[in-house]
Structure 1
């Protein structure tokens, strides 16, 4: 009899602990997906990122800049300022290159990597100690027998999405 009561109490305790963990997990997830932006910051601005890479993709600067704006609009409560906002993003695309990977016996690459590098300056005018400058990079691999011009747009979109997510997280998710 005592064992049955203990067993039921243990089961209820385990269920409660699991429930608390799930609730805490949801809370952490919501905080992670949302942004921890102080209440005094209302606006953000994104300057056009100059393309200073040795090889220039003619649409990359605009694609990247608009991607970062979209990430801020869709991932936070901030509004974009026409001029300079409470926080400001600026910088340059410093690298855009392909390199062969997985060299085969016939000295041909079976895969190629497209890499984009960006230098970002984040200025927080409400709390200047939180300002930073950092480099970010992202890449995508593709089969070397594919024509880069046929898949370049899709690869660039994926890379820009990853880069803007990482920049957003560094600025607003405290990691």
Structure 2
């Protein structure tokens, strides 16, 4: 009976300790309390107004939602900064009579990540993703919103994984 109590006690202690090391976002233990996301300038050759603000807010949201770090406007332990370097629409497929059937919007973002507490984690890297859409539709309104949602969801998750989840 004494051995059973010891085994149960040991199991409980191990279970409690392991919860502090890992969480469902895959970040593990982050050696920081605050983060900041500086405004991402739009330096792409083709300018779509407002996409830089949307990306900045989306990156803030993903870090806030997947960690317990506090967002600050300056002197963050973790800092994200960079610029949008690509906004490009290209034809992807053609019809039999040589017209475009599908277009692709590609957005590329250069990200610089700085960790004041662990400089080995610092990086500068380009992230990009795309959204395909029918060529007979314009990249405006709901189509643009849908495309940005899809692209930014992927890019912000990739940035999060590279900076905090180490995937």
TM over 0.5: yes
2:108 aligned to which of 108, 117, 129: 117
Conservation of the 8 A alpha-carbon contact between 2:37 and 2:73? no
- Aligned pairs for 1:6-21 (under 5 A) are none
Cα deviation for residue 32 of structure 1 reads: 5.3
Conservation of the 8 A alpha-carbon contact between 2:131 and 2:151? yes
* Bigger helix fraction: 1
Structure 1 segments unaligned to the other structure (5+ residues): 1-26
1:59-84 Cα offsets, whole Å, 9 max, x none, are 10100000000000001111111212
4+ residue stretches of structure 1 with deviation over 4 A? none
Structure 1 or 2, whichever has the larger Rg, is: 1
- Aligned pairs for 1:64-143 (under 5 A) are 64-143=55-134
What is residue 147 of structure 2 aligned with on the other side?
Answer: 155
DSSP 3-state at the match of 2:56: helix
Structure 2 segments unaligned to the other structure (5+ residues): 1-18
Conservation of the 8 A alpha-carbon contact between 1:34 and 1:76? no
In 2: Cα distance, 1:119 partner to 1:167 partner? 10
DSSP 3-state at the match of 1:111: strand
Conservation of the 8 A alpha-carbon contact between 2:91 and 2:102? yes
In 2: Cα distance, 1:101 partner to 1:174 partner? 33
Cα deviation for residue 37 of structure 1 reads: 3.9
TM-score after normalising by structure 2:
0.83
In 2: Cα distance, 1:174 partner to 1:166 partner? 10
Q: What is the CA RMSD across the aligned residues, in angstroms? A: 1.5
